[in-house]
Amino acid sequence: MFERPKAGQLAVLVHLELPGGDYEADRLEFIELAHAAGAEVLSVIGGSRRQPDAGLFVGTGKADEIAESVEAQCAELVIVNHPLSPSQERNLERRVKCRVVGRSGLILDIFAQRARTHEGKLQVELAQLHHMSTRLIRGWTHLERQRGGGIGLRGPGETQLELDRRMLRERIATLKRHLDGVRARRAQNRQARSRNEIPIASLVGYTNAGKSTLFNALTDQQVFASKQLFATLDTTVRRVELPGLEHAVLADTVGFIRDLPHDLIAAFRATLEEARNADLLVHVVDAADPERAARIEQVVAVIDEIEAETVPRLLVFNKIDQREGESPRVERDAAGVAQRVWVSALTGAGLDGLRDVLAERLNDSDRRTYTLRIPSRAGRLRAQLFAHRSVRAERQLETGEMEIDVEMPFERLRGLCVAAGIDPPPDPGSVEAWEADTVK
């Protein structure tokens, strides 16, 4: 019979080098995650494998090395910087004689500590229950014992595992109903902003890139900001003053990270919808991070996962005060559109230029009217156009297609068309002429 060991804070960390990773950068981030969770790191055990071991993930030899380290240092916890299956977690715990936590469990624990609002706590609890449900099925064999004995409990009854599984399902269903209400309220707020034609920019980026500090600097707010991973979990939306724009709002969202647990992305979908429905994604990058190129790719992967890939983006390189000889500047593409801005949210360098660029990118002056022919297979595109309140007229054609007059910025329309599998229009500033009624 297998009873899970009790948890503690004295931890041995395990990080293996697998193909395709950056061993040293991932190891340093892992140590920072462990500290963020409140662990007292006793040692870090490294190694390399071509592929994970099916039973233990780390292999039998490495598992014995971990067990010796745990015994020698009286460790209470082993944290593995990789996703572990329930059976791998259970097998490794039996081998090392202490509790084992994988990367997903570690990140979930940090989120549980940092959640402050009612919504944030609901989202974290939902992610934890999804994670726990898989562990109930394969990790806790003692829960398979039958309820029995005593008045009112005789007979076949339910196993403890079945009871716990049912309670989890009921709690998950309750949390989902609550979060559906949150999603509905956010949708109403977005519709109100859309009716009033208030443009919104949403800050996204790798955790600890300085999004909240930049948010405070642009909005004159005092949202909690700290030099730590996942300092901010709850989305905050505030008005921002931009030159030439009467109204505009800025949203600060949860930071992203490599291998963000899928359960967590699903639970925070209501929050991340602020990014998906924004007029502009402001991708904040730590300019002083030597791994910034990899961090950009990892954030883009999460943006694609939350289906925000069609939203126009602006790269903002923050923390230039930490790079010797770096100066604030705006970089533009061949068409003159600002694509990169270099700033320091801490010192304020370059923030005036960033405000000008945000006003430029959010300004409706580039809105044009196009006539699209939407085939029946592109019903999602039609729904998105209505969601953006961009449809000015709609006509049913004899061919079964819908002819729609749309007014919206060129970049957003092109992104939506590409996502729907429809040939995008050429840049209206180029020499190519776009005959809108031929778009199919």
DSSP conformational letter for 345:
T
In angstroms, the CA 194 to CA 14 distance is: 49
Looking at every residue in the chain, the average pLDDT score rounds to 78
Q: Calculate ∠ Cα 158-160-164, nearest 5°.
A: 105
Q: What is the pLDDT of residues 227-265, one digit of tens each?
A: 555 555 567 788 888 887 777 889 887 777 777 766 667
Interatomic CA distance for residues 381 and 390, integer angstroms: 12
Given this structure, which CATH class describes domain 10-101? Answer: alpha beta
> Which is more confident, 233 or 388?
388
- CATH classification for the domain delimited by 196-362, as one of 3.40.50.150, 3.40.605.10, 3.40.50.300, 1.10.600.10: 3.40.50.300
Q: What is the band of 115 on the pLDDT scale with cuts at 50, 70, 90? A: confident
**Percent of the chain at pLDDT above 70?**
76
pLDDT bin (cut points 50, 70, 90) of residue 391 is confident
Structure confidence at residue 146 (pLDDT):
47
Question: Phi and psi at residue 390, in whole multiples of 5°?
Answer: -105, -10
Side-chain half-sphere CA neighbours of 4 within 13 A: 19
C-alpha to C-alpha distance for 158 and 25, rounded to whole angstroms: 48
pLDDT at residue 161 greater than cutoff 60 = yes
Q: With the CA atoms of 204, 209, 211 and 217 taken in that order, what torsion angle do they form, in degrees rounded to the nearest 10? A: -150
Q: What is the CATH number of domain 366-438?
A: 3.30.70
Residue 88 pLDDT > 70, yes or no? yes
Asked if residue 139 has pLDDT above 60, the reply is no
Give the CA dihedral 16, 22, 26, 28, nearest 10 degrees: 110
Q: Give the C-alpha separation, 437 to 277, whole Å.
A: 27
CA distance 128 to 352: 42
Whole-number Å distance between alpha carbons of 1 and 59: 23
Residue 126: the pLDDT is 81
Lookup: tokens for 247: 């109204």
For 108, counting Cβ atoms within 10 Å of its Cβ (0-12 exposed, 13-18 middle, 19+ buried), the class is buried
Q: Is the pLDDT of residue 132 over 50?
A: yes
Burial (0-12, 13-18, 19+ Cβ within 10 Å), 391: middle
**pLDDT bracket for residue 143 (50, 70, 90):** very low
256 class by beta-carbon count within 10 Å (0-12 exposed, 13-18 middle, 19+ buried): buried
Q: Which of 96-110, 118-132, 187-201, 362-376 has the lowest mean pLDDT?
A: 187-201
Q: Tell me the per-residue pLDDT of 401-433, one tens digit each, with 9 for 90 and over.
A: 888 888 777 767 777 787 778 776 655 544 333
Least confident of 85-94, 95-104, 391-400, 401-410: 401-410
| Confidence grade of residue 287 (pLDDT, cut at 50, 70, 90) | very high
Asked if 316 and 361 touch (Cβ cutoff 8 Å), the reply is no
pLDDT of residue 172: 83
Output the DSSP codes for 16-37. EE-TTS-HHHHHHHHHHHHHHT
Measured between alpha carbons, how far is 237 from 226 in angstroms, rounded to an integer?
19
**What is the distance between the alpha carbons of residues 228 and 412, in angstroms, rounded to a whole number?**
34
196-362 matches 10-101 in CATH topology: yes
Count Cα atoms within 13 angstroms, Cβ side, for 137: 9
- For residue 402, give both structure tokens: 């819908």
Q: What is the pLDDT of residue 144?
A: 46
Highest mean pLDDT among 83-97, 134-148, 193-207, 262-276: 83-97
Alpha helices in 196-240 (DSSP H): 211-219
pLDDT band at residue 140 under the 50/70/90 scheme: very low
pLDDT at 439: 36
Most confident of 272-276, 297-301, 325-329, 386-390: 325-329
**CB distance 163 to 154 below 8 Å:** no
pLDDT band per the 50, 70, 90 thresholds, residue 149: very low
pLDDT in the model for residue 141: 45
pLDDT of 357 above 60:
yes
**Domain residue ranges of the chain, discontinuous segments joined by +:** 10-101, 196-362, 366-438
Whole-number pLDDT of residue 428: 55
Nearest to 388 by CA among 225, 207, 200: 200
Distance of CA 162 to the CA centre of its chain: 33
The tokens for 310 are 């069609």
Half-sphere exposure of 111 (CA within 13 A, CB side): 30
Mean pLDDT of 364-386: 77
DSSP label of 111: H
253: its two tokens: 């969202």
Higher local confidence (pLDDT), 193 or 351 = 351
Identity of residue 377: R
For 179-236, what is each residue's pLDDT tens digit?
A: 778 777 766 765 665 555 678 898 988 888 888 889 999 988 665 545 555 555 567 7
Indicate the SS3 state at residue 357.
helix
DSSP 3-state of 58: coil
pLDDT category, 66, cuts 50, 70, 90? very high
- Nearest residue to 366 via CA among 387, 394, 397, 337: 337
CA 204 and chain centroid, separation: 9
User: Residue 284 pLDDT more than 90?
Assistant: yes
